[in-house]
Homo-oligomer: A and B are copies of this chain.
């Protein structure tokens, strides 16, 4: 129904009045179309897709932040329709034709050529999987989500097993439609991380497995646990909001082109370079809001850093989930969990929360870096985090290839936790039922988190070659050189290069575990004096 509103009065009957009052921009007359280059015509077409996706985006943001409960049913219908319209507009023959014409005219190596390549990839990913399979997956995902919620609540894997088997079967079919050379996993992972393969993941986990398992073991057996109980308590939401908004603005998140709201699960979203928003949450652990905000601000600064001339085109935004995660983790962990950061910010935090005055920057730094093997991935510390991911990757691979049955997942899961983290889940709710992803059919997605972790250190290592005094700068609250470097090297590149090309260009080498292991080991061996 959509009544339109206007200064103090409602305009009812949206359709009718929209004809009169809205700044309607009609289809361009034929003559104007004729004078457009194919490239401009393509941009116009893609701008329609972008507007439809932006509409879904803001509806989803609103749903997580301000929507009254009564709005849920219509919201689902609206988002469903807008997604379909975006899809139809994107995959239409006209879009394909425009892409082909524009490609013929584009200068190789130009931004135009890059945009065409990215748009073609988006289109291919949308069309390789037949609509009927997408439909089937969507239907199964609705059922699977409800079943998963119940199964997790009751810690009853059997109640989810049949549906999960069907979901893996559908995802297997998807992978066949998407196509791959070496491993079925490659097809799935590529959707999230262009060009990344199962072999890349295996290498990554091979490289980090032994050193990290050893590091965790040393920390646990060392026996010197860090006391962080002061980080738990009741904290004024207003003051947490004030502090988190201050730190994200200070590190470089532009609040004139963004804002922070509250949501059950922190996220970053946006629909133009001028409007990239984050959310956070306020819990009894004060680090929840602080590091949640910094993490999302990392994502957001990446999105805000796209060139404004690429705004509302497929070239804007982050290039892949792994590279995106490298930016959130860099700001959250490497900057935000550094001692220098707290040398600068702790007195501000203590001014708002005098109960933290017992901490020195050093003790606070130690507290927020406490390592403790635990069952739940989303609560994991920096050291153990990748072990959680490794478990999921190994299981996904084995189930996809048929080497493992879905029915055997719980046992395999628990055994791997015992081996890698030295702990065994007491029930599947804190084991293989904890993540929402599989119920959605997001299989092949988890490794991008670990890639983000590795890349954050690899990029930081490169940055320190140009800016050797990062500690000094952070300790003085001077983040502009760091933000500026990242913006120049990564943010401003948008999606122009593939993730692998970008990483090579920025760091001079492909993704590797070297800098990550060096950085992590140095930090935690020092912190735990081992």
Which chain B residue has the least Cβ–Cβ distance from A142? B23
Known contacts A25-B138, A74-B271, A271-B74; is-contact A55 B60 (Cβ 8 Å): no
A312 touches B1 (CB 8 A): yes
Tell me, rounded to whole Å, the shortest Cβ–Cβ distance linking A436 to chain B.
7
Say yes or no: is A53 at the interface (Cβ < 8 Å to chain B). Answer: yes
Q: Which residue of B27, B134, B271, B274 is within 8 Å of A88 (Cβ)?
A: B27
**A257: which B residues are within 8 A, CB to CB?**
68-71
Provide the main secondary structure of the chain A interface. helix
A147: min CB distance to chain B, Å: 16
CB A139 to nearest CB in B, in angstroms, measures 9
Residues of chain A at the chain B interface (Cβ within 8 Å): 1-27, 47-62, 66-88, 90, 118-119, 121-123, 125-126, 129, 131, 134-135, 138, 141-142, 191-192, 254-259, 261, 265-275, 277, 292, 295-296, 299-300, 303, 306, 310-314, 316-321, 324-325, 328, 378, 436, 440, 442, 449, 495
Which of B23, B275, B328 has a CB less than 8 Å from the CB of A138? Answer: B23
Is there contact, CB below 8 Å, between A8 and B306? no
What is the minimal beta-carbon distance from A40 to any residue of chain B, in angstroms?
A: 15
A–B complex contacts, Cβ < 8 Å, 16 sampled: A1-B311, A1-B317, A4-B269, A5-B61, A5-B267, A8-B265, A8-B296, A9-B267, A12-B303, A13-B314, A23-B138, A24-B84, A24-B135, A26-B87, A27-B131, A71-B275
Question: Measured between alpha carbons, how far is A10 from B449 in the docked complex, in Å?
Answer: 11
- Shortest beta-carbon distance, A385 to chain B, in Å? 13
Give me the 4 closest cross-chain CB pairs, A-B, nearest first: A74-B272, A71-B275, A70-B257, A12-B318
Given contacts A83-B25, A268-B3, A312-B1, contact A10 B303 (CB under 8 A): yes
Given contacts A80-B25, A83-B24, A14 and B275 within 8 Å (CB-CB): no
Q: Which residues from B are CB-within-8-Å of A84?
A: 24-27
Known: A2-B270, A3-B270. A51 touches B77 (CB 8 A): yes
Would A125 and B19 count as touching, CB distance under 8 A? yes
Q: Is the CB of B17 within 8 A of A191?
A: yes
Do B141 and A23 have beta carbons less than 8 Å apart? yes
Among the listed B83, B90, B271, which residue makes an inter-chain contact with A23, where contact means beta carbons less than 8 Å apart?
A: B83
Q: Are B26 and A135 in contact (CB under 8 A)?
A: yes
A15 to chain B, nearest CB (A): 4
Residues of chain B with a CB closer than 8 A to A268's CB: 3, 5, 9-10
Q: Are A8 and B67 in contact (CB under 8 A)?
A: no
- Bound Cα distance A6, B68 (Å): 20
A4 to B9, CA, bound (A): 34
Residues of B within 8 A of A77 (CB): 47, 51, 312
Residues of chain B with a CB closer than 8 A to A256's CB: 68-70
Q: Could you say which residues of chain B place their CB within 8 Å of the CB of A17?
A: 191-192
Q: Are A259 and B68 in contact (CB under 8 A)?
A: yes
**Minimal Cβ-Cβ distance residue in B for A319:** B12
Q: Is the CB of B82 within 8 A of A269?
A: no
Residues in B with CB closer than 8 Å to A76 are 23
Q: Report how far A86 CA is from B256 CA in the complex, Å.
A: 30
Which B residue sits closest to A51, measured CB to CB?
Answer: B81
Contact between B10 and A267, CB atoms less than 8 A apart: yes
Contacts of A442 in B (CB 8 A): 20-21
Residues of B within 8 A of A292 (CB): 8
The CA-CA distance from A313 to B74 in the complex, in Å, is 11
Supplied contacts A2-B271, A15-B123, A71-B271, 15 more A-B pairs, CB within 8 Å = A1-B270, A1-B317, A2-B53, A3-B57, A5-B268, A6-B267, A9-B324, A10-B299, A10-B318, A16-B122, A16-B126, A24-B138, A25-B138, A51-B85, A55-B56
For A312, what are the chain B residues with a Cβ–Cβ distance below 8 Å? 1, 74, 77-78
Tell me, rounded to whole Å, the shortest Cβ–Cβ distance linking A509 to chain B. Answer: 23
Choice from B10, B60, B254, B267 contacting A269 with Cβ under 8 Å: B10
Are A13 and B122 in contact, CB atoms less than 8 angstroms apart? yes
Complex CA gap A424/B79 in Å reads 53
C-alpha gap A77/B272 in the complex (Å) = 10
Assess whether A440 is in contact with B21, with CB atoms less than 8 Å apart: yes
CB neighbours of A8 from chain B (8 A)? 265-267, 292, 295-296, 378
| Chain B nearest Cβ from A501, distance in angstroms | 15
A382 to chain B, nearest CB (A): 15
